[in-house]
Amino acid sequence: MSAQSFPVSEIVATRRPHRKDAARNYDALLAAAREAFAEQGAEASLEDIARRAGVGIGTLYRNFPTRRHLFESLYAGEVDALCEVAREVADLEPWEALTTWLDRFAGYMVTKRAVREALNDESEIFAACRESMYAAGTPLFERAQRAGEARTDMTFVDLLRMVAGITATTFDDDTQRDRVMSIALDGVRATR
Digit-coded pLDDT (tens) for 171-180: 888 888 889 9
What is this structure's pTM?
Answer: 0.81
What pLDDT is stored for residue 114 in this prediction?
Answer: 63
pLDDT of residue 171: 83
**Overall size of the chain counted in residues:** 192
Q: What is the pLDDT of residues 74-100, one digit of tens each?
A: 888 888 889 999 999 999 999 999 999
* Predicted local confidence at residue 173, as pLDDT: 84
pLDDT category of residue 2 using cuts at 50, 70 and 90: very low
**Ramachandran category for residue 150: left, alpha or beta (phi over 0 → left; psi -120 to 50 → alpha):** beta
Tell me: the pLDDT tens digits for 43-60?
889 999 999 999 999 999
